[in-house]
Every structure is written in C-alpha cells, then in structure tokens.
Amino acid sequence: MGIRTEFWFRPLTDQGVLMPGLLISVRNAAEAGIALAGGCDVLDVKDPSAGSLGQPALNALAEILETLDQLQSSIPTSCALGELVDWSPDPVAMFTLNRLSYLKIGPAGLQQFDDWADRFATLQQQFRQAGVDQPRWIAAFYLDFEAAASFDPLAVLTETKLCEQLCERLGCAGILLDTFDKQGPSAAELILDRRRTQTLRELLATARELELMTAFAGRLSFEDVRTLQAARIQPDLFAVRSAVCLENQRQAGIEAARVRQLTELVGCTENTGFATTPVGQACDAD
C-alpha cells in the first residue's frame, strides 16, 4: 500500500497526482507535539547530532511514541537507523521499532548498488527473523553521493531500473532522496545546478506508476520548496528539519510558527503550474 492510499485526503492536481505532503523530523516528544500541532503529514524521528539519518536514542523514540498514544494520534511515523554499514542488531530497539510505520537507513560507504541491495536484503531478513514485520522499508539515497562515498541514485535508475528492483526484490514502500553533508548544498541546489531536473521528474513518474511513495529531503529551505514547486517537481512528501528550526539550524529546536508556515507553503498551488481542488490554505507563508 503506497502513500496514495494513506494520504487520500490530500488534493489532486488536474493530472490526477496528489499534492505533496510534509514530513517533519523530530528528536524528542516536545518537538513531536509541535510538529503535530502544525499539521505535518508524517512524523519522522531521528537524532540530528548523529548524522544525516542519525538513529535516535531508544528512550527518545519511546517517549515520542508514548506522546502519540496519549494524543490518540494515528499519524504515520518513520525512524532513521543511521547507515547500513554501521548497523548492528539490537533486540530491544527492534521491538520498539515494530510500532512504527516506516524505517529508513542510509547507503553511505557503499559504492555499488548491488552491494547495497544485498546488504539491504540481509537487514530486512534480520528484522523479519526478530519478528519486526509492522514497519515498511524506505530506500534512502544521497544526491551528494560523492560526499557519502556511495553511488549516484539517479544514474542507477537508468542503468538498473532501480524502482522495479525496489518493488520486486526488496519490497520497499518508497524512496527517499536526501543529502549526506548537512553543511553542503541543498538537494534542490544539487538537482538544479547539475541540470538533472528532468531525470528526477522521470524517477518520480516511474515511482508513481509502481505505487512507490517518494520523499525529497536535504537541507530544503522555504525557497527550495517554492523553486521545486515551480519546476513541477512533485514528490509525495517534502521532508524537512532545518527549515522549521530556530535560525535554520537542524540541531536547534523546532519552532511552531515555521511549521505552520511550511505546512501552508507545501499545500500552496499558486506557483506550481498545476490546477487542483481547493485546499483552503494561504499561499503567503514565510
């Protein structure tokens, strides 16, 4: 089941494509409450001090899940697990992870797609053997692959039919395109500077046909979201942290006003070139 069934309430474009939703990454229960109040569509948990996809401490994750229970929230949840090359099984942590909707882990240090796919399949098997079968897997890739000592996901797409492999061999629910170096260019800058906009559109279209959800992350600013919307780059989710943090610093705290503003911006259709059903949201955020 892809994001098109889970987020059926989002408006459709005139091409029958769902308008993007908003994923916000949080590090503790207080931030989770702010993100929920601001209207995010997916709540992600990570430790921003531990890298791009830093795995959160078990107690922090447990407190966030307890908060969601107290609020009786059914929002989809995801969690970062660090990098695949560093992963080591933890039965206690894996039991807690079974309460989540999605899991993701980074490909840093793996320079060949086949090597990544083999290790990823082994990881999935470890989780199944531990009885962790509730969350679905998101295949995470880095657009600044050189910094991550990894492979170019957009090149792999054309060479090996990445999306088909993710569905048929690995059973993934979706794709996350992110950045590894959080001091470097944003994902939007990397795509636009390298003139890879059309390749990205083709990836999103292929994923949509296969019912794979797509998330676009990587130091995205308010202006990046506007630019991507204007370029008709429409993932299922824009995924952010720094954009909603104090002074845009990912290790600072999340600000409620910025969450609300970005929620409105993501739902804004004024500059996308797509006609949609009414969303009832303002287009003057930020």
Q: Give pLDDT tens digits for 102-115.
A: 999 999 999 999 99
Tokens of 180: 């590894």
Q: How far is CA 67 from CA 36, 72, 150, 221, in A?
A: 11, 8, 36, 28
Lowest pLDDT segment from 139-143, 192-196, 238-242? 192-196
Query: By percentage, how much of the chain surpasses pLDDT 90?
Result: 67
User: What per-residue confidence (pLDDT) applies to 33?
Assistant: 96
3-state secondary structure of 246: helix
Q: Which residues of 249-269 are buried (b: 16+ CB within 10 A; e: fewer)?
A: ebeeebbeebbbbbbbbbbbb
The more confidently predicted of residues 171 and 4 is 171
Tokens of 173: 């629910």
* pLDDT of 156 strictly over 90: no
Alpha helices in the chain (DSSP H): 3-6, 29-38, 58-70, 91-97, 113-129, 153-160, 162-168, 187-193, 197-209, 222-230, 256-266
* pLDDT of 229 strictly over 80: yes
The more confidently predicted of residues 63 and 169 is 63
The more confidently predicted of residues 147 and 93 is 147
The more confidently predicted of residues 205 and 270 is 205
Tokens of 225: 């979201």
Q: Which residues contact 121 (CB under 8 A, 6 or more apart)?
A: 169, 170
User: What per-residue confidence (pLDDT) applies to 267?
Assistant: 78
User: What per-residue confidence (pLDDT) applies to 167?
Assistant: 87
Q: How far is CA 109 from CA 6, 61, 95, 101, in A?
A: 33, 26, 27, 26
Q: Which residues contact 119 (CB under 8 A, 6 or more apart)?
A: 84, 85, 110
Q: Quote the CA–CA distance of 282 and 85 in Å, as a whole number.
A: 44
Q: What is the mean pLDDT of residues 40-46?
A: 96
What residue ranges define each of the domains in the chain, with the CATH number in brackets?
A: 3-263 (3.20.20.380)
Q: Quote the CA–CA distance of 204 and 114 in Å, as a whole number.
A: 22
**What is this structure's pTM?**
0.88
